[in-house]
Structure 1
């Protein structure tokens, strides 16, 4: 049973400060008055993360960042997490409180972005994402969220554009809306269907076993068995219906990390070995989980190329909004402009005759 404490709001406090409110929350969740040890977890640029340990039981407490619930649908996130637990694809949910969640702590470590091109990570992430796309059904999430409608990538971006502050990006809101409609028209002309995407598959949201060593030349996993993926995905706040190619292209754009090192992102070409291997694993994993062959590697890479620049549009607007909301120490303005420029460069390169 998941505890609900809608009136409990945890304050975001500096590292090293006391966490009495968190300790009380954990005791109420577990019904255990024994000591609770709280440890801060660094790495996120949206929320504050704390690890709570009571005896041998470890839980993650995620307090939502200031103002984030205005552009992140927390009810959708909760519904997605609930459905993922039924598929054994997410840790147990313990509690939802006024501005956050408590759920099981996943043992392991987050990857770092230079590791995303490692053959073990390529096979594990592609197989796990294929499992997500195959098993996490849009209709199941809709039922859990009902009567609230389940938004998608398009409705989310429409809302974000309305919230985007002036002066951060070169485009006006009207121009952004035109860009979105242009892209939507391109999508409608394709035959690609929607999946329930993760939509935030950056390195820190991919966990691997602590024992895995990216520097080792010894292969320790079966890369050809989709059911043996060592990757666990966390943080489902952006999970929503979206074109499959957007979710995959978004992951590849995260290979650049927060430093935006574009040299680490593969080109959407069939002769790129990393991209070719990733897509090949994904197609085989989809067949493993569904029995369906979704196409060839070349066909899928061609689909991805259409979406390659869209994540820059998506995260550029997101970061512009965060620049006026967040209290986390991060240069959101520069990140917004860098990611949005990524989209503009892609569009000029692929569609040179468009304005």
Structure 2
């Protein structure tokens, strides 16, 4: 452990965590004789939680046991209910999705360490990997999770907007145009609605750091379900496309490059793979309709993560320029809205009538 890591853990909950790790080790058939011999490795890329890999030798001494320790970020109760996230995590495990839950403590939990690598920003552009991701996302959307199957996107954004207004100064409220966003959210909820749109269990944070691949089996695993909920599947795929503008492992992880947003052919290919994943052969019209819906839902994504950035700047201590990130997301919203406005405003039969 580095000095910084030791100070962080000991300053928070080290004694409680040691007891949990000892219990986890026992459940796995190990015994940790010397807690000071634990190897703790901070993992980079997380923007909500602190994440660590913890290693200890197994009984035969030749193999290291690895687990993942997740320390919950400060202020996350403003974004989601932790009990809902843990319930989803446990349910995902039962569905064979993601890592197993090994132990819990007040400030976090211990998870199974997945022996796969996290994708990089570049991986998202690899056609083979992208096709695998599309299939996994479709599988995720088809999960049947407990609780109501209601769309939470719009209520969540309204709650976040109220919180952002409360936290921001008058100057910041004006800079981010927060007083205008109630109307924008209402407009989007009305314009983006389709009576026949598909609602699925969405991950809602499909950045590359939450997608892992087993290099041997080529199996994709989605991790980190803090924001998972039922939403339009077009919104979730739009989130994935928007995340292609980010590289959270660069020297400037908050800077977004929208020249990397996928082009039309790349989006069509992803959607075709997504719709084909269950052996169906989608028509060109089905592919084009979903591509069109996804493009419109990028607007909701920019508002969603812009508000997240503002709130995070006040409650999260992770080294990340949240306000600049928020500024870029809002800027992109207004730019894309201008480009998409005609399609949002023009008459179009949507299954329930006319926009």
Q: TM-score range by the shorter chain?
A: 0.7 to 0.9
Q: Which runs of 5+ in 2 are unaligned?
A: 59-63, 247-253, 346-355
Partner Cα distance (1:312, 1:112) in 2: 22
Q: Structure 1 residue 251 and structure 2 residue 230: aligned?
A: no
Looking at both structures, which has the greater relative contact order when contacts are Cα pairs under 8 Å and sequence separation is at least 6? 1
Instruction: Report the secondary structure of 1:296's partner residue.
Output: helix
Note the C-alpha offset of 1:177.
1.8
**Mean Cα deviation higher: 296-305 or 29-38:** 29-38
Match of 1:296 in 2: 286
Q: Structure 1 residue 262 and structure 2 residue 258: aligned?
A: yes
**Mean Cα deviation higher: 152-161 or 182-191:** 182-191
More helix by share: 2
Distance 1:156 1:33, change over 3 A: same
TM-score (norm 2): 0.80
Distance 1:155 1:34, change over 3 A: farther
Match of 1:345 in 2: 335
Alignment of 1:104-253 (within 5 A): 104-134=112-142, 136-137=143-144, 140-142=145-147, 152-164=152-164, 165-166=167-168, 167-168=171-172, 170-209=175-214, 230-253=219-242
Note the C-alpha offset of 1:49.
0.3
TM-score (norm 1): 0.80
Partner Cα distance (2:308, 2:257) in 1: 19
Instruction: Report the secondary structure of 2:53's partner residue.
Output: strand
Partner Cα distance (1:18, 1:161) in 2: 32
The 8 Å contact of residues 78 and 160 in structure 2, kept in 1 or not, is answered as no
Q: Which runs of 5+ in 1 are unaligned?
A: 1-12, 144-148, 212-227
RMSD: 2.5
Match of 2:349 in 1: none
Note the C-alpha offset of 1:192.
0.5
Q: Deviations over 1:185-243 (max 9, x none)?
A: 123344213111001010111112357xxxxxxxxxxxxxxxx7522111110111111
The 8 Å contact of residues 101 and 110 in structure 2, kept in 1 or not, is answered as yes
Note the C-alpha offset of 1:282.
0.3
Equivalent residue pairs, number: 311
